[in-house]
Chains A and B, each alone.
Chain A
Amino acid sequence: MRIAILGFGSVGRGIARALAEKDLGIVVTALADSRSGLIRPEGIDIEAALARKEETGLCGESGVAAPDIAIHADYDCLVEVTPTDAVTGEPALTHIRTAIERGKHVVTSNKGPIALAYAELQDAAARQQVALRYEATVCGAIPLVHAMQEGLAGNTMQRLYGVLNGTCNFILTRMSEEGLTYEQALLEARELGYAEADPTYDVKGIDAAIKLVILANTVFGQKAVLDDVEVTGIDQLTPDALRLAEEQESTIRLIGEIAPSEKILRVSPRIIPKTHPLVVEGTLNAVTVETDMAGEITLIGKGAGSTETASAVIGDLIAIQSRHVQGS
């Protein structure tokens, strides 16, 4: 199978490294970052591209841009891993629309287009008989979408709740374990590279809310937008509050929750017994799904990271390869 990778940052390079190390039958025919691009129908030398990016900051030649690749390059599947824009979804949304209209499959880790335009993109993909997959948009390495759409197919999803943001979970873990203030724990998260310079999206619960919208629309069949989610972040939490929870063998975690029967779509800090399976440490993510046949299923794993997110993207690629792409 031939793929084009748009975005050569943490995730894009994680994918490239895995493809270089493993013989997965996947050939990269095009590649772009924000300032350069490369089109090689016979296949790009991945090691060389990684080295070039490292040395020069460019993965290819200036003058070749991501939109050109989406429109003109030869590929079976577009891998869209540029930065998330939660408001416009761009430039990813245009890249993805273009690929689908050309009858190409799409795999993305980009939350923007899936949260904003899933129904439209899925309709277009169905019309063009191509696959649109987005496992990496929610909970990094955890095969959550896969588990719900395929492993649990036929079940009615009754409720989903879990820890969807590793940065908040890290901060709360540190506040609870060390009695740190919110500000101290955030500083530590920054120093360790777990929090962005502008942590607003994470700590205000917006990132978790976007993931909740994706799950509501793709797995629960809703038509939710970000504004439908009731969101409370963790930035007002005090060490005293954690201590009060502690006194009852509990702690506080930021929980995203979908409960269609009660019309609940919310992200909020919650008191939770320490022995609860969703109480995971550090940057881990954890999600429980309640279904009618399978009962409760809880998945725990790494919610971010270069290789971890690449794992989810590659899982999607191989699913497409085995189902749709012949002779690869």
Chain B
Amino acid sequence: MKLEMKDTPGQLVAALKPISAVGGNIIAVIHQRDTLSTAETLDVQIVLELPEGRLETLLGLLKEQGVSVVRIGEQRLLHQRSLILIGHLMHTDLSDTVDRIDQTGFAEVTEISLVMPAINEPSSARITVRSVDLADMHRALDILRSVAGQKQILMIEPLEAV
């Protein structure tokens, strides 16, 4: 995601500190003097990664530091859930299961760990689903739930604080 903020010189540090405080990861800091504005103001764009649900906290902290956030850019695949599937995953076409999520366009499976058991035993896999917003995540999980139901796969969901 991208934050764009007005800042006064010397306050850049004040703006960056809260990001690590909430466990964020700064990917790029781009600042340029705004020719139209007065000399004390500059535009800073920060590209960063944030753990889920920390944006509000970050914005609050920035405000406390006197940094005003002008615009919050696109948030990409912000939400992440790891699920465990148990069942006859290969026989029921695991790649089709994954496709059902990837096809949606609003969520994707970004990781699969599959453990192959003895022949005819159920296999276990962990898959990670990412989506841009929470509503999409819920839609993606609904789809997975119904696919799991059809294919008689046990789907173990995380207990996340809502």
Task: Name A residues whose Cβ lies closer than 8 Å to a Cβ of B.
Answer: 159, 161, 232, 236-238, 240-241, 243-245, 247-248, 250, 252-253, 255, 257, 259, 262, 268-272, 276, 278
Contact = CB atoms under 8 A, between A and B. Distances in A.
The 9 A-B residue pairs with the shortest CB-CB distance, nearest first, are A240-B124, A270-B159, A240-B115, A244-B126, A271-B158, A241-B124, A272-B159, A238-B124, A241-B84
Residue of A232, A247, A248, A255 ringed by the most chain B CB atoms within 10 A: A248
B84 A245 contact: yes
Contacts of A245: 84, 126, 156
A270 B157 contact: yes
A245 B156 CA distance: 10
A259 B126 CA distance: 26
Contacts of A268: 156-157
A248 B162 CA distance: 20
A21 to B, nearest CB: 40
B117 A240 contact: yes
Nearest to A261: B162
Nearest to B128: A248
A250 to B, nearest CB: 8
A253 B158 CA distance: 10
A272 B159 CA distance: 6
Contacts of B86: 236-238, 241
A252 B113 contact: no
Given A236-B122, A271-B83, A244 B157 contact: no
Interface string B71-93: 00000000000111010000000
B82 A248 contact: yes
A235 to B, nearest CB: 10
Nearest to A271: B158
24 contacts: A232-B154, A236-B86, A237-B86, A237-B154, A238-B117, A238-B121, A241-B84, A241-B86, A244-B113, A244-B115, A244-B125, A244-B126, A245-B126, A245-B156, A247-B126, A252-B84, A255-B159, A257-B159, A268-B157, A269-B156, A271-B82, A271-B83, A271-B156, A272-B158
Residue of A238, A250, A269 ringed by the most chain B CB atoms within 10 A: A238
Nearest to A162: B159
Given A240-B117, A244-B113, A247-B113, A271 B122 contact: no
Nearest to A296: B161
Nearest to A288: B161
Contacts of A252: 84, 156
Residue of A159, A232, A241, A243 ringed by the most chain B CB atoms within 10 A: A241
B3 to A, nearest CB: 28
B123 interface: yes
A270 B123 contact: no
Nearest to A259: B162
Nearest to A239: B124
Contacts of A247: 113, 126
Contacts of A271: 82-84, 156-159
Nearest to A235: B154
Contacts of B84: 241, 244-245, 252, 271
Interface in B143-162: 154, 156-159, 162
Given A241-B156, A247-B113, 5 more contacts: A238-B122, A244-B126, A250-B158, A257-B159, A270-B158
Contacts of A237: 86, 154
Given A236-B122, A271-B83, A161 B159 contact: yes
A9 B126 CA distance: 45
Contacts of A269: 154, 156
A270 B84 CA distance: 9
Residue of A236, A240, A252, A269 ringed by the most chain B CB atoms within 10 A: A240
Contacts of A255: 159
Nearest to A262: B162
A247 B121 CA distance: 22
Contacts of B158: 250, 270-272
Contacts of B82: 248, 250, 271
B52 to A, nearest CB: 13
Interface string B114-140: 010100011111100000000000000
Contacts of A238: 86, 117, 121-122, 124
Interface in B36-54: none
Interface string B100-122: 00000000000001010100011
B159 A236 contact: no
